[in-house]
Structure 1
């Protein structure tokens, strides 16, 4: 049998295994696993078995694709969601070259890195409470960006107070009772701190809304991702922190972002 045919048989068998394991995009995943392992049959078998057991493909590859770029991820790190593209779009629209941009609850650093790449020359700071995520973020953000370990703004340098032009975050916003209904890939392999937003899902968002005004520059904005059904409540929370609050939704991506602006005084 020609070698090309043999490779085709191997890929078809791999696709069948992945499809049987419930992988919706089995063909694409098979191609990525084969590219990752090359001719190493042992490595391919090991990764395939882990994928069949439910580990996220991104954890196996060591990277996730976001906005056309590879983002470093590791086992136990939150995998960036494509719906967060709306959050990046809004941040890019508000930021300008030279802007101070802060990505809180940064996880892998995907969002802040995308903003920096698409805007250009920004002063980027990112922070997360999870050291493993921070290690990934440091591999993802551009040179010159700074990534800090700590709980929300506790991690930030104090000289950023009153200077932040864009503060963005995709905080955990799944209600505690809803975590058990999430796909196994998320609830079993991503940190609980990146998923569980408290009883109504807005616990961390409330903390972010309260802390944001002290860090924002005049006319600075805070951008917070949430679920569509949380938009009204989240907007009220941001308005209650003294910011001009609006909510935006993208039906196609099923993405919602609440925008809070610190209006400059006349």
Structure 2
């Protein structure tokens, strides 16, 4: 297949960035046709390639593991402004471990822990985070007790798509990423409530919880944080089309 034919094939399948995708597929190791077949079947390009670009890094991916979105780089940037070498940091709902990897790259020397419920995601995160502790389990229950009250920052790219909106998502997300990585319940904030409710038990004095939300969820999410004793600030990045909340635990005393 010629380069022009490859581009035309991808464009006919609805790939908006057909030229860029064609170049990446041609440069990928191994035969082209099996990779092209997977992409034409709707599998996310990043899963087909085996990696995703995130915050200037290549993050290893596997089929069925949530693909990190560029908008989540806002969480990394906000977290980096406030942690230093030696601080305990948790990447909760870590998926591939992209957020933890990017933060550790920005702030070398942090004590990084990551956790996810999905064993495939945990295996992928362990590939991306050598030297970090990657735990499998349900949110805070995955973490060892010795971290309680010691965590300086938690990055939580928790699912926040309202259940009724899943059907409206692009098929490559809806059909190829686990539903539990997308579905946030009726208003999209079910997992956020669970995270916030226990956060103060795990955060150090002045520690921060950083969570991604949609613009429409800001008001309810701020209320969730407030009820959990974590006064929240709202941060946006128009270029990334990203919105994040930072809830801060009270200082000691």
Equivalence for 1:240: 227
Q: Distance in 2 between matches of 1:224 and 1:50?
A: 32
CA RMSD of superposed structures (Å): 1.0
Q: How far has the Cα of 1:265 moved from its partner?
A: 3.5
Runs of 4 or more consecutive aligned structure 1 residues displaced over 2 Å after TM superposition? none
Q: Where does the alignment leave 5 or more consecutive residues of structure 1 unmatched? A: 1-8
Q: How far has the Cα of 1:64 moved from its partner?
A: 0.7
The answer to whether the 8 A contact 1:228-1:254 is kept is no
Rg larger for = 1
Equivalence for 1:55: 43
SS at match of 1:138: helix
Q: Distance in 1 between matches of 2:38 and 2:131?
A: 36
Equivalence for 1:155: 142
Is 1:231 paired with 2:218? yes
Equivalence for 2:7: 15
Equivalence for 1:31: 23
Q: Could you tell me which of 217, 224, 236 is aligned with 1:249?
A: 236
Q: How far has the Cα of 1:12 moved from its partner?
A: 1.0
Q: What whole-Å deviation, never above 9, does each CA across 1:12-42 have from its counterpart, x for those lacking one?
A: 11011011111111111111111114xx6xx
SS at match of 2:115: strand
Provide the aligned length of Structure 1 versus Structure 2: 253
Kindly report which structure 2 residues correspond to 1:19-98, keeping only aligned pairs within 5 A, or say none: 19-37=11-29, 43-98=31-86
Q: Distance in 2 between matches of 1:257 and 1:70?
A: 23
Q: Distance in 2 between matches of 1:69 and 1:250?
A: 20
Q: Where does the alignment leave 5 or more consecutive residues of structure 2 unmatched? A: none
Is 1:180 paired with 2:172? no
Q: Distance in 1 between matches of 2:149 and 2:78?
A: 20
Q: Distance in 2 between matches of 1:244 and 1:265?
A: 15
Q: Could you tell me which of 67, 87, 112 is aligned with 2:100?
A: 112
The answer to whether the 8 A contact 1:249-1:256 is kept is yes
Kindly report which structure 2 residues correspond to 1:134-149, keeping only aligned pairs within 5 A, or say none: 134-141=122-129, 143-149=130-136
SS at match of 2:28: helix
